[in-house]
Structures are given as C-alpha cells and as structure tokens.
Structure 1
Amino acid sequence: MTKPSAPRRHLPTSPFAAPVAPEAKHFGLGDRVSHDQFGLGTIVGVEEGIAMLVDFGSSQARILTPYTRMHSL
C-alpha cells in the first residue's frame, strides 16, 4: 500500500509563481445562491469557516469551503 504524497513545496529560486489558495466566499443565513451542480438554493445553515447547508428545493446539500462552485444572487 502506498502512502499519499505530500504537496510539493515552492522553491524560492523557481521562475514560476507560488500557488495561491482560493479565498473563501462569504455567505449568510437566508442568502439565495446558485450552485454549478445543484442549481438555485437558499442557505439554511452555517458552519462558520467549514461549510454551508443549502436547501435546493428537492434536496439539501452541505457545501464545503471555499465554495468555488457556489455564487451569490
């Protein structure tokens, strides 16, 4: 069984820019959102800095931070 590898570190002498983590978007309870996979929904629960519970009408989903596929309306 192989051990998962650690992320590669950025060398200071590299001619390429260091990778940047996407900044987490900020949503509040009751905000209307659009998700690339699930569609339109309303935020019904907040786990600060961890996840959002979103009601999409036919189902609910827990969307994890940084919410790259979710957009505010």
Structure 2
Amino acid sequence: MKSHRTATRRFLPGSPFNVPTVPPPPLEQFALNDRVSHDKYGLGMVIGVEDDIAVLVDFGPQQERILAPYAKLVKL
C-alpha cells in the first residue's frame, strides 16, 4: 500500500479563488447626542452606546436598539 503524498497546489493567476481577503471596514463610532439617520426609522439622536455591540437611538415616538455593524445607520 502506497502512502499518499500531499501535492502543492499550483498558483493559477486567473483563478477566482486567488482573491486576497479584504478586512471589513472599521465600525463607525457613535457618541451620546450624535444625530443619526436610519433608512427605516428616519432621523434620531443617540441616547446610549454599548461598545461595538449596539446603540440606543431615540427616533421621536420610539426608541430602537440598533445592533452592530450599523448597516442602515448614518451619522449626520
């Protein structure tokens, strides 16, 4: 019985699998009383910040806890 040799993989310049990994963009930092805009809830003000986890935003008639990575939340 022959033992299996591990072959080194060839580098193929046109391969879609050779794409270098791009690190995700850094999370936007929010502070108390920052004015923000959300795609669904509209304009609001940050009233609470949990480090890199979530922000609590007052949108007037309601308060919402927005989780990171804050895809639809924009600082104004």
Q: Same fold (TM over 0.5)?
A: yes
Higher relative contact order (CA 8 A, sep 6+): 1
Correspondent of 1:48 among 36, 51, 54: 51
Rg bigger for which structure?
Answer: 2
TM-score (ref. length: structure 2): 0.70
Identical amino acids, percent of aligned pairs: 48
RMSD across aligned positions (CA): 1.5
Q: Which residue of 2 aligns with 1:9?
A: none
TM-superposition CA deviations, 1:27-49 (whole Å, max 9, x none)? 10000000111110000011111
5+ residue gaps, structure 2? 1-10, 12-16
Number of equivalenced pairs:
61
Q: Which residue of 1 aligns with 2:19?
A: 16
Distance 2:20 2:61 in 1: 43
Distance 1:22 1:58 in 2: 32
5+ residue gaps, structure 1? 1-12
Cα displacement (A) at 1:19: 5.1
